[in-house]
Amino acid sequence: MENSPRHTSGALQKHMPVWQEKALDLFSLPTYSPDLHCRETLWRFIKYEWIEFDAYKSWTHVVSYGENVLQNDGEKYKIIFG
């Protein structure tokens, strides 16, 4: 888990013993760990692999390229680990 307030709240913490009994171990990510955060991995692929340099000509181009990636996620655009 990241260290956001919702992940460190009492409401979540009170459920931890129940989850641990079911063999679900949750752990907090280090303070700065973009390589472990799925949104950061996705953004890195979008920014450096899937969107062409021309996308940054204007806001309209960025939005168009971004929409294309989101609409084709899982088909044309896939992240394959390992």
Nearest by Cα to 3 from 35, 23, 29: 29
Number of domains in the chain: 2
- Judge if 2 and 12 occupy the same domain: yes
Write down the pTM of the prediction.
0.48
What percent of the chain is modeled with pLDDT above 70? 83
Q: What pLDDT digit, counting tens, does each position of 4-55 carry? A: 666 667 887 888 888 889 988 877 777 776 666 677 788 888 888 888 888 8
Q: Are 40 and 34 in contact (CB under 8 A)?
A: yes
Within this chain, do residues 43 and 80 fall inside the same structural domain, yes or no? yes
Cα angle 9-4-77, degrees, rounded to a multiple of 5: 130
Is 46 in the same domain as 64? yes
Pair (38, 48) in one structural domain: yes
Let me know whether 15 and 26 are in one domain.
Answer: yes
What is residue 81's predicted lDDT score, i.e. its pLDDT? Answer: 74
Domain residues for the domain of 13 are 1-32
Per-residue pLDDT tens over the stretch 59-82? 999 899 889 988 998 888 888 876
